[in-house]
Structure 1
Amino acid sequence: MTIHELHKVFLESHSVSTDTRNITANCLFFALRGDNFNGNEYAKEAIKKGARYAVVDDPTYHSDGETILVTDTLKTLQELANFHRKYSSAKVIALTGSNGKTTTKELINAVLSVKYKTVATKGNLNNHIGVPLTLLNIKPDTQLAILEMGANHKLEIKFLCSLVEPDFGYITNFGKAHIEGFGSEEGVITGKSELYQFLLSNHKTVFFNGDDPIQREKLKDYPNKLGYSQDDPNLFKIKSLGAHPFVALESHGIKIQSSLIGNYNFTNCCVAILIGDYFKIPMVDIKIAVERYQPKNNRSQIIHKNDNQIILDAYNANPTSMKAALENFAAMEGENKTIFIGDMFELGDTAAKEHQYIADLAAASKFDTVYLIGENFFNTQSPLLKFKTFGDLSKHLKNRAPKGSNVLIKGSRGMALERILDLI
């Protein structure tokens, strides 16, 4: 079956699924393989649950009238997604960067959906599987699609761009994330900049942070670019009004008060405003959209519990975002400041140095109490409270949970530090 023929089947189906736990009637099930599973084994289950067809790549599981046999299900999913992207008339905005991708994507979608029919990446499904699934969510009436693209090694963004073929692009920032895969900070910049390379070679438009020296340098000779800045009068002007603790800003005489904590969220708001203006959404409507947006999924959430005000920022962490979170928390008003910070992953040979730097920064910031959690932080030379495992922390907090405190919880996803909420 050709991709063109498979696309006709897809258009007659209601959706695409790669998980039998999420089968819906008349969907198209793709039997993907993983390190510890073989999706082909679940083809019959998918059909029983109501799938229109199961796409398999193992002849053993092929059944005429129920399955579609292909050479490689993942490659077929990706090719189908690219075919559908070309078939659709929707314009596509692609986002990548070291920090803030998901929040930025959500903000852009909140603004654009005021006027347009949009589709956006769900959660952080931003890899070689999630990106195709998002493309396949584009409907006949979709006008704008906002796709988040993640990467932990070079050439990954280049590959995702070949699937997405974006009309517009934005890089949030270049930070110390996924150093293990990229090899160095320069490797991160090179890898993320693959989005710029695609857009340049295809004469597409870049949105950028005009106050970021790396972005300015990378784009100095780029013709199709639109930037925002606090200082450059030639760019879209947006002024920070601080974060006490929520980000406030002003643009074109209109003040916007967000529900996002920390100065590090200022640029995330800026690009949403810039893109909204580019797509001719009135500033008053942009203001309403940004102010209505509420963070979720462990990203800079404010939670009140047992007389504590808790900033839960436990979705992910790297040295850049950890430093920003600590500095922002230190600058915030309030007493009895307690922080729980967990290990940062995928740092390779730099792990020991980066964890020591963050431990030293936390100690120098003079918080009332600091808890370092995880093997990497446990091995630092630090006078702070250190716990090798979450279980050790749990035992310690049994009769010592903070009360009446301002609390920050920050760590990599694998640390699952949102569990601390059950302890305090």
Structure 2
Amino acid sequence: MSSRPVTISDFALWMGVEREIVSSLGARSLPDIWMDSRKITPGDLFLALPGEERDGHDYVVTALEQGACAAIVSSLEKIPGAFRDRVLLVHNPLEAVSAAARAYRRYLDIPCIGITGSNGKTTTARFLRTILEQNYRVGGTEGNWNNHIGLPLSILRLTGHEDLAVFELGANHGGEIFDLAEILEPDMGIITNIGYAHVGCFGGIEKTAAAKFELAEVLGLHQGVLYVNGDDSHSMEQMRHSAYAGLTMCTFGTSEAASLRAENVYCTSEGTYGFTYHGEDFHIPLPGRHFVYAMLPALALAESMGVDSDMVRSVLATLRPAPLRGEVRNTGQYTLVLDCYNANPSSMNAAFQMMHDMPAPSGRLVSISGDMAELGAYSDSLHRNCGAAAAEYGMEVIIHIGEFGAALCEGAMMAGMDQEVCHCFASKDAFITAAPQLLAPGDRILLKGSRASELETLIPFLTGEV
């Protein structure tokens, strides 16, 4: 259990509790808050959220019996009398906690950085935190808590000892980023790019761009600074057609139009990239050109906050790929590029480009892909576009497992690939059966798909472990 520089009484006041709490409870320091009763440890707070399938109020007694000091609830109906002196009654638990998170952020009064975009939020936040931690105590997003529930809880996890904090803002519908940014009230922001992730939920790429730039609207209210990908056409289009009063904007990228520019970009045989920034050389020991874009705003912010460039380089040297996010593994028979944590059109294109850029003496470029999720009515056309991108970046064999294989292969063939090297399968088992006729020693194989595709289950087969 962690404690914070405010009490449960302070927290209850911020939430607007509807009944008085006992003094012994109110005097406690604000502890960790969980919405999963299984994670409760003695002294924690339990957040009872109603849901479509489960109602958190059904687990209040369990959480209190496991040692929770109190539970945040909207009804006493399911709470036995013996436990009612250990509840914080509010009209809407999530709204109450969000209001308390905003109040706590104001109480701490430290610089906060908000990061959104279609791809690269977690990587950009990771780079930024790792670099800034050399000079500062840095807090931020807990795990993957970046949505309307996770962000308030992440803010409330700050201990009060941080010098600054870095938070991811995730969304799949319009209006959500605005609401999250209003809770966080960031001083600085980063929009990594605008792509087709969740485009089926947003309702189009223009609406996706408008949703991500809701961060700019809130930053403008606080005279904040926003870093935007200057090489991203959708971001630039949004900036051209919208006015954001009170906002300072900086662009980053590799083009001459970017004010924060990476120059002399090169790729190593491991797929890692190096570049020159403000006359100094940097190398990122992670495979993928997209890491250059994740690093640039981190470098700019680090520079503005006094982190020495030699220290930045020493930190970069320690970076390693997160599991399933660009790990390169040599099996003796194949070279595998394992990037199957997630997939959307932008990240697929980046992966194809990395495979193309990697210098190698021999071996075919092979793509094994799975369906990209949450594309809605755009699914066929965007899988078709990905097939075309695979062909344009020189992939020599395309293998797709899932519902949209025909569309992806069609796109590849329209871009000039032969039908004989384009293969689609309904299941992983079907691919495994055919694999001996499709793969050859020396192949460099990209494994890329959405989490729902579970392509990581193919790794033991491809490495010869089974």
TM-score (norm 2): 0.83
Alignment map for 1:86-235 (pairs within 5 Å): 86-212=106-232, 214-216=234-236, 218-219=238-239, 224-228=248-252, 230=254, 232=256, 235=259
Task: Tell me the CA shift for residue 136 of structure 1.
Answer: 1.0
Conserved 8 A contact 2:289-2:353: no
CA offsets, 1:120-168, max 9 Å, x none? 2133321111111211111211111111011111111111111111111
Question: Residues 69 and 394 of structure 1: is their aligned pair in 2 closer, same or farther, counting only changes over 3 Å?
Answer: farther
Structure 1: distance between partners of 2:15 and 2:381: 52
Structure 2: distance between partners of 1:89 and 1:357: 46
Conserved 8 A contact 1:174-1:189: yes
Task: Tell me the CA shift for residue 76 of structure 1.
Answer: 2.0
Task: Tell me the CA shift for residue 422 of structure 1.
Answer: 2.3
Instruction: Tell me what 2:55 maps to.
Output: 38
SS at match of 1:287: helix
Conserved 8 A contact 1:20-1:45: yes
Conserved 8 A contact 1:256-1:291: no
Task: Tell me the CA shift for residue 65 of structure 1.
Answer: 2.8
Alignment map for 1:7-26 (pairs within 5 Å): 9=26, 12-26=29-43
In the alignment of these two chains, the number of paired residues is: 424
Q: Which amino acid aligns with 1:246?
A: T
Q: Which has the higher mean CA deviation after the structures are superposed, 395-404 or 283-292?
A: 395-404
1:2 aligns with 2:13: yes
Question: Residues 132 and 4 of structure 1: is their aligned pair in 2 closer, same or farther, counting only changes over 3 Å?
Answer: closer
Residue of 64, 68, 72 corresponding to 1:51: 68
Q: Which has the higher mean CA deviation after the structures are superposed, 198-207 or 330-339?
A: 330-339
1:301 aligns with 2:321: no
Q: Which has the higher mean CA deviation after the structures are superposed, 163-172 or 37-46?
A: 37-46
Runs of 5+ consecutive residues of structure 1 not aligned to the other structure:
none
Residue of 325, 345, 350 corresponding to 1:319: 345
Conserved 8 A contact 1:208-1:227: yes
Question: Residues 301 and 207 of structure 1: is their aligned pair in 2 closer, same or farther, counting only changes over 3 Å?
Answer: same
Q: Which has the higher mean CA deviation after the structures are superposed, 32-41 or 205-214?
A: 205-214
Structure 1: distance between partners of 2:322 and 2:261: 28
Structure 2: distance between partners of 1:9 and 1:410: 50
Conserved 8 A contact 2:267-2:357: no
Structure 1: distance between partners of 2:216 and 2:408: 38
Task: Tell me the CA shift for residue 390 of structure 1.
Answer: 3.1
SS at match of 1:25: coil
CA offsets, 1:80-107, max 9 Å, x none? 2112111112211000011111111100
SS at match of 1:325: helix
TM-score (norm 1): 0.91
Question: Residues 284 and 381 of structure 1: is their aligned pair in 2 closer, same or farther, counting only changes over 3 Å?
Answer: closer
Structure 2: distance between partners of 1:155 and 1:10: 37
Structure 2: distance between partners of 1:361 and 1:79: 45
The percent of aligned pairs where both chains have the same amino acid is: 28
1:77 aligns with 2:62: no
Conserved 8 A contact 1:322-1:358: yes
Task: Tell me the CA shift for residue 365 of structure 1.
Answer: 4.8
CA offsets, 1:293-330, max 9 Å, x none? 22203222223435433221112211122122112212
Q: Which has the higher mean CA deviation after the structures are superposed, 347-356 or 403-412?
A: 403-412
